[in-house]
Amino acid sequence: MTVHQIVFILVLGLTFAIFGYTVNRLAAYFRITRPAFPVRDIGRRILVTLQVAIGQSKILRRPVIGLIHALVFWGFIIILFGSLEMIVDGVVGTEKAFHSLGKVYDVIMGSGDIFALIIAVSILIFLSRRLFFHVRRFAGREMTHKSHVDANIALSLILLLMITLLGMNTFYVAFAGQAGHHIYGVYPVSTAWFAPLLSGSLSDHSLYFWFRVNWWMHILTIFFFANYLPYSKHFHVFLSVPNVFLSRLRPIGKLPLMENILREVKMMLDPSAVADTPETEDQERFGIMDVEDVTWKNYLDSLTCTQCGRCTSVCPANITGKLLSPRKIMMDTRQRMKDKGPGMVKNGKEYSDEKSLLRDYISEEEIWACTMCNACVQECPLNINQPEIILGMRRYLVMEEAAAPGELNTIFSNIENNGAPWQFSQDDRLNWAKELYMED
Amino acid sequence: MEKIKTKIEVPVMADLHARKKTPGYLFWVGSAGAFDDRYKHVTRAFIKILTLLGTDYAVLGTEESSSGDVARRAGNEMLFQMQALTNIEIMNGYGVKKIITCDPHAYNTFKNEYPDLGGHFEVLHHTEFLEKELTSGRLPVDKDVFRGKVITYHDPCYLGRANGVYDIPRNILRMLGVHVTEMPRNKSFALCCGAGGGQMFKEAEQGGKEVFIERTEEALETGAEMIVTACPYCMTMLTDGIKYKNRVEEVSDFDITEMVLRALIM
C-alpha cells in the first residue's frame, strides 16, 4: 500500500465521518417533525422525478437561465462517474480503474471533459449575475449578507472543481502524449485546447506531478464540498432528487385534511358517535406555531430550498410590496430548526427557548398576506410547497388562538350563522331567480 | 303589440325530490352567485343557457350554503369541515352525481377536497360544460359579435394553476370568434387577482400597491376593451380595478358565460 493510498483512505474516512455526523443530526431533527403522507405510488414518483428533477422541466420555465442550470445539472451527473472512479483509484491505488468499460468509458469521460468546460462557463455566468448584475430575485429582506456569501462560496467551489478537473485531464493527456503512454478515455476539450498550450514546456515528470496535484485538489474539493453542502443553501445538490421523488402527489389545489379536527367535527355533528371515536393520543396542537409542528416534508422542503427566489418573484403579495416572501418562509423554517432543534433533541419536544417560528421568525402580517394562488408552488423547480406552512400557521392562529384578522372572524361567523361570507339570510339565496326572463 | 316574455322557473332540488325526480345536474350557485350584485348577472346568464339547452338540472336554493373554501384557506379547518360534511349530506340525500358551478373555488374544493370527507361527485366548471355544448353545436353562435374587439382573458388561479384548465376558456372564446390578446403573465404564469385565501374580505397588508390594481393594469396594457374571466372573485377584483383606474367608460369585464350568451343565435 502506498502513502498516497493511506492518506487517501484516511481523508475519505474523515469525510464520511463528518458526513455521518451531519446526517445523524438531521435525522434527529426529522424525528421531531410530524407525519406528512405515506410514500406510495412509486411508479408515479419515478415519473415525476424523471420529469422535474432529471428533465429539469420546471427550471426550464425560464428558458435561458434554466437551460444553463440544466446543463450544469446534467454535467454533474456525468462527472459523478469520474468522481467515483477517482475514489476507487484512490483506495485501490489504480489509475483510471474503469477504463475497461471501453467505448462507454470514452463517451462518459469525453462528455465529462466537455461538460467541465460548460459548467465552468455557466458558473462564471451565475457568479457574475450575483456579483455584477442586479438580478431582482436575488435581493430581498431575507437575503442577508450571509446568504450571498454562502452562494458565492458554493459557486466558487464548483468553479474550482471544474478547473481542477480540466487541469487533471489536461496534464494527463499532455503527460501520456509526451511520454508515449496509452491515453485511457477521450478528453476532447483538454486535448484540443488546453494540452497544446503545454507542449514541450515541461518534463514528463513535472507533467505527471501537476496531474497528481490537480487530482488531489479535485478530490479534496469534492470531500470538502460534500461536507459544506448540508450547512449551505446549496444542499439541493444532494436533496433535489429525493425531494422531488417525495413530492406531494395530490392536486395543486388540494389542501391536506386535518384528521384531528375531523374527529372533533364528527363528534359535534353527531354526539352519539363519541363512543365509537378512538381515544385521542397526546393532545396535538392544531396547525403550526413552531418548528416541531411542521411535517417531515415541510422540513425537507426547507433544507432543499436553494433560495433561488423564483417563488418570491411570482408572489402577488411580494410583487406589490407586502412583507410576505415564500422563500423567507422556507429559510425561516430551516433556521428555526437549526436554532431550536438541538435543544429539542436533548430535552424533548417540550423544550422551549421562549421563541417560536410564528411571530419571532415569521410575522402574522406575512402569513395573512398570502392569496393561496399557488404561483410559488407552480414555480418551484424542486416541488417545494410554501403555502402549506403559511396555511398551518393560519390554522394555528384561527383554531388555537382565535387570532384571525377581524374581518376574517366576521366572515367565519357569517358562514356559521347564515351560510355565506356576507351577512345575507340563507332564505334569500334564491332571490336572484325571481322575475327571471329569457329576454332580459 | 307588447312582446310576451318567457319567464324562467328555476328548478329547485327539494321540489323535484318531492316529485321523486332526480335531475342530471346540480347547479351550484355559490354565495357570490346568489348574493353579489355583479355575479348574479352571471348566474342568470348561465341559467338562460341551461334553459335554452333544456338541461336537466336543479339548484339547492335556500338549502345551499358556503362550500367552505374560503374558511379553509383562511385557516378555519373546523368550519370548512362542518360546511363540507353538511353540504355532502344534503347532496347525497338528493342523490346528486354531477355538479356544475361557475365558481372555481367551489369547483376545486368539490373536486379535490370533498372526496376526503365522503363527497364523491363529478364536478364541472361552467367553462367545461359550455365548451362541450359549443363543440357539439347545440349552442349556435354568431362569430361576428366580437369582431374587431380587443379582448383579454384572466386565468382564475383555482381554475388554472389548481386544476390545469387553461385551454378550455380560450377554446370557447375562439369558438365565439374572439382572438384573445394575452397578458404577459398568462396561463400557469398568470398573476392572481388578489382575492384568494380570504383576501377579498379583508384589508390588504401594508405594501406598495394592491394586487388587483397590478393585475388590472396588466390587463389594460393589452389595450383590451373587454376583460374576460371565469370566477366571481376575479370578477369583483377586476371590476374594482377598472373603477380604480377610471376606465369604466371604455373597458368592461365579463364572465365567459356572458360572452357565450351575447353571441348566441336565439
Provide the pLDDT for residue A401.
96
Provide the pLDDT for residue A276.
58
For chain B positions 6-35, those within 8 Å of chain A (CB to CB) are: 6-8, 10, 12, 29, 31, 33-35
Question: Quick one: which H or E segment has residue B253?
Answer: strand B252-255
Residues of B in contact with A326 (CB under 8 A): none
Residue of A nearest to B63 (CA): A426
Of the partner residues B79, B86, B113, the one whose CB lies closest to the CB of residue A412: B79
Selection from A233, A239, A56 nearest residue A154 by Cα: A233
Tell whether B192 lies on the interface with A, counting CB pairs under 8 A.
Answer: yes
Domains, chain B: 13-131 (3.40.50.1860), 142-263 (3.40.50)
List, in sequence order, the alpha helices (H) in A59-102: 63-92
Mean pLDDT of B44-63: 97
Residue of A nearest to B109 (CA): A254
Predicted complex ipTM: 0.96
Q: Hey, are the CB atoms on A320 and B207 less than 8 Å from each other?
A: yes
Tell whether B187 lies on the interface with A, counting CB pairs under 8 A.
Answer: no
Residue of A nearest to B32 (CA): A420
Torsions phi, psi for B120 (to 5 deg): -115, 105
Tell whether B207 lies on the interface with A, counting CB pairs under 8 A.
Answer: yes
Q: Hey, are the CB atoms on A439 and B35 less than 8 Å from each other?
A: no
Provide the pLDDT for residue A274.
60
Residues of A in contact with B3 (CB under 8 A): 439
* Residue indicated by cell numbers 374527529: A263
Of the partner residues B43, B157, B198, the one whose CB lies closest to the CB of residue A408: B198
Residue of A nearest to B112 (CA): A254
Residues of A in contact with B199 (CB under 8 A): 371
For chain B positions 86-145, those within 8 Å of chain A (CB to CB) are: 86, 108, 112-113, 116-117
The sheet with strand B122-125 has its strands ordered as B57-58, B25-28, B98-101, B122-125
Selection from A382, A287, A381, A291 nearest residue A335 by Cα: A291
CA–CA distance, A368 with A365 (Å, rounded to integer): 5
Confidence of residue B2 (pLDDT cuts 50, 70, 90): low
Task: Tell how many helices (H) and how many strands (E) occur in chain B.
Answer: 11, 7
CA–CA distance, A129 with A42 (Å, rounded to integer): 38
Q: Hey, are the CB atoms on A437 and B68 less than 8 Å from each other?
A: no
CA–CA distance, A235 with A231 (Å, rounded to integer): 7
Of the partner residues A265, A370, A397, the one whose CB lies closest to the CB of residue B82: A265
Provide the pLDDT for residue A270.
80
Q: Hey, are the CB atoms on A415 and B68 less than 8 Å from each other?
A: yes
The answer to whether the beta carbons of residues A304 and A238 sit under 8 Å apart is: no
Alpha carbon of B151: minimum distance to chain A alpha carbons (Å) = 23
Residue of A nearest to B60 (CA): A430
Tell whether B202 lies on the interface with A, counting CB pairs under 8 A.
Answer: yes
Provide the pLDDT for residue A355.
97
DSSP letters along A278-294, please? PPP-S-PPSS-SSGGGS
List the end-to-end C-alpha distance of chain B, in Å, as a whole number: 21
Q: Hey, are the CB atoms on B66 and A420 less than 8 Å from each other?
A: yes
Q: Hey, are the CB atoms on A371 and B194 less than 8 Å from each other?
A: yes
Of the partner residues B75, B81, B112, the one whose CB lies closest to the CB of residue A391: B75
Q: Collect the ranges in chain A with pLDDT lower than 70.
A: 273-283
Q: Can you give the pTM of this predicted structure?
A: 0.95
Provide the pLDDT for residue B225.
97
Alpha carbon of A372: minimum distance to chain B alpha carbons (Å) = 5
Residue of A nearest to B107 (CA): A253
Q: Interhelix angle for B167-175 vs B126-135, to 10°? A: 40
Q: Hey, are the CB atoms on B201 and A407 less than 8 Å from each other?
A: yes
Provide the pLDDT for residue B5.
84
